[in-house]
Amino acid sequence: MRVEGKDYRTVWMEGSAVMTINQPMLPHRFEVVRLPTHRDTAEAIRNMVVRGAGAIGAAAGYGMAQVFIEATAEEPEHSNYVAAGYETLKNTRPTARDLFYAIDRVRSASDAVAEAEAIADEYVEAGRRIGEIGAELITDGMTVLTHCNAGWLAFVDWGSALAPIYFAHRAGRKVSVIADETRPRCQGSRLTAWELKQEGVPVKIIADNAAGLLMRRGEIDLVITGADRIAANGDVANKIGTYEKALCAKASGVPFYVAAPLSTFDLDCPDGGGIPIEQRGDEEVLYAAGMTDNGEFARVRLAPEGVEAINFAFDITLAKLIDGIITERGIIKPTADEIARIIA
């Protein structure tokens, strides 16, 4: 995607360093971060400097390649170093299926760096195909609701949920977006709105709890979200609040679609109950951070002192609430048979 006249991917490799866009700085500052070692890359994934299913996968793949670069074959503890690096990356984000998909592939490859580059390229192509295929769902004049950020920032390039919107927009169709703010880290208001503004797609931000009202009023025509893991039966783990949007969509007769590459499917997980749900720190809920009117970054406390928070990062949307899953091989029904067929 193009930012200020220059083309970028979300994450890439230069020499032995991983380069990524510093997502917590957006939309106020565009900054590229250099991650010299696999430990730096792991920390960037853990702290959500880089986030989003495909971007996590690509970054983790590059991080695993860094492990091999750092552990030379001459060292007697080479295999131990690789195993330790693998565990460091593995333990960063438990819900994201693409992370495990990427580090397992790179660990088993004969050329770790080439395999990591191949994975990133595959995400780019998958995003492009998802965009082409999913754009068929978007007709002229539609308003699409998104939740969290599943655009190019989350996916190396193009995105998953936003890719069909980009393709429809570039095809000349009038499409506008309603972006949930997506508390507690506000990826919708900070990242999705920034991306769409860069692309020239009209976007409005709403409070997370406003989507149901807009659906009932007929002001939303279609919902598309991304996914962090999809179980074998079609249950989907995605950013917390996705389940509520799916319930509202079902009650209001609004089509609800999920966009994800095949790498996000986990056939070893029979249903959503088997997907591990990451729980993050209280501070993400109890505080808010942003830029002041004076142009300074600041953090403010929202809740009373001494109050604790519950901060699950994801929830599970049941397959029965999903109209279809947009993949690089077509739009499928969220059923065990369809998923097994397309992945076979």
**Stated pTM of the model:** 0.95
Q: What is the CATH number of domain 2-126?
A: 1.20.120.420
Domain boundaries, the chain: 2-126, 131-343
228 is annotated as an active-site residue: yes
Candidates 228, 235, 266, 315; catalytic one = 228
| 3-class secondary-structure state, position 278 | coil
| 3-class secondary-structure state, position 236 | strand
Helices marked H in 217-297 — which ranges?
242-252, 283-286
Residues in the chain where the model's pLDDT stays below 50: none
User: In this predicted structure, what is the pLDDT of residue 73?
Assistant: 57
User: In this predicted structure, what is the pLDDT of residue 50?
Assistant: 97
Residue 44's nearest CA partner among 76, 8, 10 is 10
User: In this predicted structure, what is the pLDDT of residue 257?
Assistant: 98
User: In this predicted structure, what is the pLDDT of residue 168?
Assistant: 98
Q: Tell whether omega for the bond before 27 is within 30 degrees of 0, i.e. cis.
A: yes
Token readout for 132 is 């082409």
User: In this predicted structure, what is the pLDDT of residue 5?
Assistant: 80
* Strand intervals (E) in 89-202: 142-146, 175-180
- What length does the chain have? 344
Residue 137's nearest CA partner among 178, 157, 167 is 167
User: In this predicted structure, what is the pLDDT of residue 311?
Assistant: 98
> What span, in angstroms and rounded, lies between the C-alpha atoms of 165 and 161?
8
Sequence-distant (6+) residues with CB within 8 A of 309 are 282, 284, 285, 286, 303
Is 1.10.260.40 the CATH number for 131-343?
no
User: In this predicted structure, what is the pLDDT of residue 77?
Assistant: 64
CB atoms within 10 A of CB 113: 18
Phi (first) and psi of residue 69, to 5 degrees: -65, -40
